[in-house]
Amino acid sequence: MNFANVSLPPAPSNETMAAIYHLLDVIANADKYKSKLDELAKVRDAAHEAIGKLSDLQKKHADLAAEREIVSQMATLGKQKLQDAMNALAADRAALAKDRDAHELSVKAHAAERQKFDELVAAHSARLNELDRLKKVLA
């Protein structure tokens, strides 16, 4: 056999050698890595639990957002109804003010008519008194 034509396989890279040494270290110090793996498992379990809580909180958030939207729509509707009622009240007050002004004019007109009537009654009374006096004088 001619060894001059035989080539050696390429040498492993530095990264490959570092990985092999690390694997050997893991095998040799299994207890040290076991405790680290246990810590990672605890962290993983805590992360899964936090993800579950986050999912629940996101569902609650979505439910509350939907409820808030309903309440907001109800508040908007309530505000609109209140505004409509306030507008109707303002219109009623304006009509009342108009009616009150008309009534005040009517009362003033009635007072003037009553004063004229009282003057006529007084004049008529004076005439009746005069007639009574004349009857007494003539009688």
Question: What DSSP string describes 123-136?
Answer: HHHHHHHHHHHHHH
pLDDT tens digits, residue range 59-73? 999 999 999 999 999
Average pLDDT per consecutive 10 residues, the chain (139 residues; last block may be shorter): 68 89 86 87 96 96 97 97 98 97 96 96 95 89
pLDDT at position 126 is 94
- Whether 64 is in a domain gets the answer yes
Query: What is the residue range of 67's domain?
Result: 14-102
- 59 lies in a domain? yes
Per the structure, the count of domains in the chain is 1
